[in-house]
Structure 1
């Protein structure tokens, strides 16, 4: 990854109108709290939710946890949400149902106007995008490259499966679609996020862990959740294991030593290693250091 991307292993949704949840949000251990203005807020409560955003974001960000705000999709609602959410206390926006590069570009333009009006650094508000419709998936490569604000992209499992008319969502039903989003994210040098199982799985934590582990094995970097019990699972799964760290440290040391001696071939624990393998090990160590710094 050539640009500095955020550490987003776990992104916990919190309804912004629930003061009790907001007050406890920063203590949940999530890398990011996503204050929700969308699905968890009934239409009649949208105005009060918008009014609560800045104070909620300040409370959470002052406690040292990053804040994103998930806005609504219809343009008239989205415009009101942006007015309520673009503040220094908010580090980014979660954008649902992205369907085209133009869609993302319009949002980017509005956010820049608000940043300038409010004396904020232009570009300080980052984006996380959700692909939740067939049209969005068909345009995912263009969407992924449409704005330098876009830091990560995820398949929105529940909305996307509903849009496809799927009666239920199994742990592997959306693997193919998730991988399309992942490849688009990697091509655009942003974070691939998410897992193929249901985000609403809050009773069978073994099943939830399985979905997260499959996603990590495929190269995903983190995922969203709706319950605090899911947070430690995501943090654990999307962090390097002790054995991975030990292996990476030893491999990098062996490779660097061989290069310093001018050796053209490097053997490590019975296998030949080359640049791509070592770079993967270096990424493990960088991630480990970033997690340690945050802790």
Structure 2
């Protein structure tokens, strides 16, 4: 199964208590804006930040970007009120941290239904604990409303008692499980954040690793990371040229009644055609988004 074809190359967290950051978000070319009510907001500012974020989301000033709100996790003092507010504020999705089980997904979906959230409001789940990765198939299979997995690498490294190192060797097995689980169930999957906003080369290397592993995009903590993420996770000129050539050869073969297709001496199978069609369709969606966001 393939996830819904929507550009999610760059997903930028915007602190829910920072009015200046929320205003700047209107001008940034990120595919996804994640309004954060969790880590970025201290306990004393939770209520006012919730109101500020919901007013911003309701304004539609951030369209046509995908608008998501990260709420406080299950069991926290603010979770229920966060969920109720996001259910009716017009966001595309609610992102819930530390989702560990399929049962939690089912409970979250039931709560959204009870709160009257439109069916268009998706559930996004942060996968950031060892338990979650070991239950990935259970989580992704729990509901069709679950659309996107977001890997929380910082929490995962912490819970593993591991280290943040170039190449991310300690968490590569978990990253692979996340991608496998997402693809089995037709979900999108976003890579975790890169913490050092001054290390441009390090960010580029980690983004390339994520792209090579199959992630749809990367979550970001600073506007400077948007452009490089868009470049890495978007189809390259070569990918687009190759995809167009494959689709053209397929169409010509179909018209001529031929079943054997070759491109540049390489045998082309149906899986290559499907992937080429996906790449071209994604590029078209990216062009449409860029026409409105710059």
**TM-score relative to the length of structure 1:** 0.92
Q: Give the 3-state SS of the residue equivalent to 1:215 in structure 2.
A: helix
1:158 to 2:154 alignment: yes
Indicate how the Cα distance of structure 1 residues 162 and 67 shifts in structure 2: closer, same or farther if over 3 A, else same.
Answer: same
* Alpha-carbon shift at residue 289 of structure 1 (Å): 1.0
Query: CA shift at 1:149, angstroms?
Result: 1.4
Q: Which runs of 5+ in 1 are unaligned?
A: none
Root mean square deviation of aligned Cα: 1.7
Contact 1:34 1:68 in 2 (8 A): yes
In the alignment, the residues of structure 2 paired with residue 179 and residue 139 of structure 1 have an alpha-carbon distance, to the nearest angstrom, of: 13
Deviations 1:61-92 (A, max 9, x none): 45433211101114242112112222242111
Greater displacement, 1-10 / 261-270: 1-10
The higher-RCO structure (CA 8 Å, 6+ apart) is 2
Distance 1:62 1:273, change over 3 A: closer
Aligned to 2:80: 79
Q: CA deviation at 1:269?
A: 0.8
Shift of 1:4: 3.2
For residue 56 of structure 1, what is the aligned residue in structure 2?
56
Q: 2-side partners of 1:233 and 1:178: how far apart?
A: 21
CA separation in 2, counterparts of 1:33 and 1:48? 19
Q: State the match for 1:47 in structure 2.
A: 47
Alpha-carbon offset, residue 171 of structure 1: 2.9
**1:258 maps to which of 253, 262, 283:** 253
- In structure 2, list runs of 5 or more residues that go unmatched: none
1:185 lines up with 2:145 in the alignment: no
Tell me how far 1:199 sits from its aligned partner. Answer: 2.2
Q: Residues of 2 paired with 1:103 and 1:14: CA distance?
A: 26
Question: Aligned runs of 1:133-282 on 2, under 5 Å?
Answer: 133-173=129-169, 174-194=171-191, 198-282=193-277
1:283 is aligned to 278
Q: What is the total number of aligned residue pairs between the two structures?
A: 288
